[in-house]
Structure 1
C-alpha cells in the first residue's frame, strides 16, 4: 500500500512539472511573437486618376494551317513497282511519286492499238471505195462504228496506264509516307502532301470585336517561337455565322517567305489596337484587386486607405477603363496593397 502511494506521488510530480514547462514555453513564445503596431501607417505608392485617351488593345491566338494539304490516294489498284519520294521531300507539281504495276495494261494497250489501227484502215478503205466499187453506206457506217469502238477501248487503256502513275498535284512537301515497295495499294492514303508556301492563321473572334476585322485588312502576327519578329498578314475570310459561343472564325493569310520559317500547327497571335472616340477614366492595372465579377481598388484619402468597389470596362494590358466608382483626381494605391485593410492608416511615398 505504501509503495502504491509513493508511485502515485511520483506521477503527480511529473505531471505538474510538465504542465509548468508548457506554460513557461507559451510565455516565451508570446514574448517572441511579432505584434504589429496597429497605429503605424503603411507605406504605399499611389497614382492620380486622370481622364485621357484610352486605346483598347486586344489579342487573339490561333494555329497556322497549310495553304493546301491533301492525302494522296492511288487511282489504280495493284502492286507497287516504284516509289520516288520519301518523307520530307520537297516536290514540284507533276513529279512522279508512285508507279503501280501496269504490265497487263501495257500488253492490252498494244493489242488495242493494233485493233484500232486495223479498224481505222478498213474504215478509210471503205469510205474511199464507197463511190466507185459499189460499197454501201451501211458498210461504211459499220466500219466507222468499229473504228470508234476500238478508239474508245484504246483511250480507256491509256487512262488506266496514266492512273498507274501517281504524280504530285501541286508543289509541296511530303509530310507523311505510308507505302513500301511490293505492297498492294488500293483506296487508302499512301502519303500526305502539304503546301506551306503561305499559311493561314485561324482565330476565333467574339461578336463584340468582329467589327474590327474585315476582308483585306493588314494585320501584324507574332509567334512565341520568334518573339523578336513580326509577320505581315492579311485577313482573307470572316465568317458570316458565329458558333454557339458567339465567336466568329477569321482566317488570316501569311506569306511564308521569311527568314524564320513558319510551319503548319504552330501557335501565333494577332494584336489590333482600337482607338476610342472619347477620353475616359482609366487606372493602372496594378491597382486592381478583387475578382472580375467584383473589382475593387484602395483609394488614398487623407492618410487612410479606403477599399472601394468599382465598375471596369476594357483593358489594354497596362491600364483599365473605369466606368463607375472613382472620380477624376482621386488617387488609387498601386503598390503595397498586400499590407492594407479597409480604413487603415497609410503614408503615400513620393
Structure 2
C-alpha cells in the first residue's frame, strides 16, 4: 500500500513538473518572438515648427475710470422745479439739466438791477453838476461808491440765480437720476453721475523689475469679459513717480479709445503692454513639449512615405503665449514635430501621422462660452 502511494506521488510530481516546464518553455519562446518582432506603429498628430514674431509683453489687471467723471449736485439748497434730462441721456457741455425754484432769487435780482440803475443815474447827474460847482467832490465820490456797491450786489444776485440752474460741466453720458420734481435738495446732494466715455483711463500696477521696460506712448491692449474676443487699444500716458513701499509695485496709467462706448468706468480689465522690440522664435504648440525633471524634449518625425520614425531631442523652451511656446534651441524652423500622442512613443518608434484632430495652437485663445452666455 505504501509502495503504491509513493509511486502515485512520484507520478504526480513528474506530471506537474512537466506541465510547469512546458509553460516556462512556451513563455520563453513567446518573449523571444516578441523581442524579435518590430514595434507597433503608433498614430500621432504633428505640427510644423514655425519661425514667428514674438512681441515681449507685460500683463496686469486694472480698473477703468473716466477721463472726466463726476457726481452732479447743486451748489445751493432749493426745491427741484424742472428736470431737463432722462437717465442714460448723452448730454453736451453746458446743457441745462435741472432747474431749482428761483422766484425769490429772480425778484431780488430785479431789485438789485433797479438799485444799480438808480445809482448810475445819481452818479451821472452828480458828475455833470460837479464841474459847475453845484455839488461837492464828496457827494460825487459817495455817488460813485454807491454805484459800485449796488453793482457788486447785482453780481451777487446774478450768481445766486445762476446757481439755481444746474448744467453739464462737460459732455458725456448721464447715469441714473436719483431726484424728482418737487424734491428739496440740500447743497451737495447727488443728482446723477456724468461720465465722458469717448476715452477712458485704465490704472494698473506692475512690479518694480518691469520699470526698465516701461515708457510713455507704449501700445496697450485691454480685454474685458463683457466683450469676449474683442481687444480695445490705447497707449501708456503716465508712470507714477514713486514705487509703493509696501508692494514694490509702480502705478501706470493708459488711455483707451472707446468710440462705441462699450467700456464703462469701474470695469475690471486685463491689460497687456507691448514692451520692447519684437523677437523671432521657433514656435510650437505647448502640447508638443514633453516636460521632465531631467530635461524637456520633443519628438521629431523623420523619414518619408510609410517609413516614418520618431526621434527624441532635447530642447530649451522660452516664453509662452496662449497655446504656443517659443523654442530657444533644439528644433529648427520647418521641422515636423509630434504634437499629440507622445506618451506612446520611445526614441526610434515607427509612427503614422493622422492630423484629423489637431491640438490647440492659438497665440491668444479665448475661453469657451459658458452655457447661457451671450455670443
> Same fold, TM exceeding 0.5?
yes
Match of 1:171 in 2: 171
Deviation of 1:319 after TM superposition, in Å, equals: 3.5
Closer/same/farther in 2, CA of residues 165 and 336 from structure 1, 3 Å limit: same
Match of 2:115 in 1: 115
Deviations 1:67-96 (A, max 9, x none): 421111111211111111120122222221
| Partner Cα separation in structure 1 for residue 339 and residue 227 of structure 2 | 33
* 8 A contact 1:44–1:346 mirrored in 2: no
Match of 1:43 in 2: 42
| Partner Cα separation in structure 1 for residue 250 and residue 290 of structure 2 | 29
Match of 2:77 in 1: 77
Deviation of 1:333 after TM superposition, in Å, equals: 5.3
| Partner Cα separation in structure 1 for residue 331 and residue 124 of structure 2 | 101
SS at match of 1:142: helix
Match of 1:334 in 2: 339
Match of 1:246 in 2: 249
Deviation of 1:165 after TM superposition, in Å, equals: 0.7
Closer/same/farther in 2, CA of residues 199 and 99 from structure 1, 3 Å limit: same
2:194 paired with 1:193: yes
* 8 A contact 2:97–2:168 mirrored in 1: yes
2:289 paired with 1:284: no
Deviation of 1:107 after TM superposition, in Å, equals: 2.1
Match of 1:34 in 2: none
Deviation of 1:192 after TM superposition, in Å, equals: 0.9
| Partner Cα separation in structure 1 for residue 84 and residue 64 of structure 2 | 29
Closer/same/farther in 2, CA of residues 103 and 191 from structure 1, 3 Å limit: same
SS at match of 1:191: strand
SS at match of 1:75: coil
Deviation of 1:112 after TM superposition, in Å, equals: 1.9
- Residue pairs, 1:1-350, within 5 angstroms: 43=42, 45=44, 55-56=54-55, 58=57, 60=59, 62=62, 64-186=64-186, 187-205=188-206, 214-216=215-217, 233-243=234-244, 244-256=247-259, 258=260, 261-265=261-265, 267=269, 270=272, 272=274, 276=278, 283-288=284-289, 297-300=296-299, 312-322=317-327, 327-328=330-331, 334-337=339-342, 347-350=350-353
Deviation of 1:274 after TM superposition, in Å, equals: 6.1
If the length of structure 2 is used for normalisation, what is the TM-score? Answer: 0.63
Closer/same/farther in 2, CA of residues 274 and 202 from structure 1, 3 Å limit: same
| Partner Cα separation in structure 1 for residue 262 and residue 85 of structure 2 | 23
Deviation of 1:123 after TM superposition, in Å, equals: 1.7
Deviation of 1:297 after TM superposition, in Å, equals: 3.5
Deviation of 1:66 after TM superposition, in Å, equals: 3.0
| Partner Cα separation in structure 1 for residue 352 and residue 206 of structure 2 | 42
Deviation of 1:179 after TM superposition, in Å, equals: 0.8
- Matched positions, count: 302
Closer/same/farther in 2, CA of residues 295 and 196 from structure 1, 3 Å limit: farther
Deviation of 1:43 after TM superposition, in Å, equals: 3.1
Deviations 1:178-228 (A, max 9, x none): 111121112121111122133344554556666666444566666666567
Deviation of 1:251 after TM superposition, in Å, equals: 0.6
Deviations 1:281-304 (A, max 9, x none): 66531134569xx79635559989
Closer/same/farther in 2, CA of residues 194 and 161 from structure 1, 3 Å limit: same
Deviation of 1:305 after TM superposition, in Å, equals: 9.3
Deviations 1:11-50 (A, max 9, x none): xxxxxxxxxxxxxxxxxxxxxxxxxxx9876936487997
Where do 5+ consecutive residues of structure 1 fail to align? 1-37
SS at match of 1:72: strand
Counting strand residues as a fraction of each chain, which structure ranks higher?
1
If the length of structure 1 is used for normalisation, what is the TM-score? Answer: 0.67
* 8 A contact 1:49–1:327 mirrored in 2: no
Closer/same/farther in 2, CA of residues 196 and 161 from structure 1, 3 Å limit: same
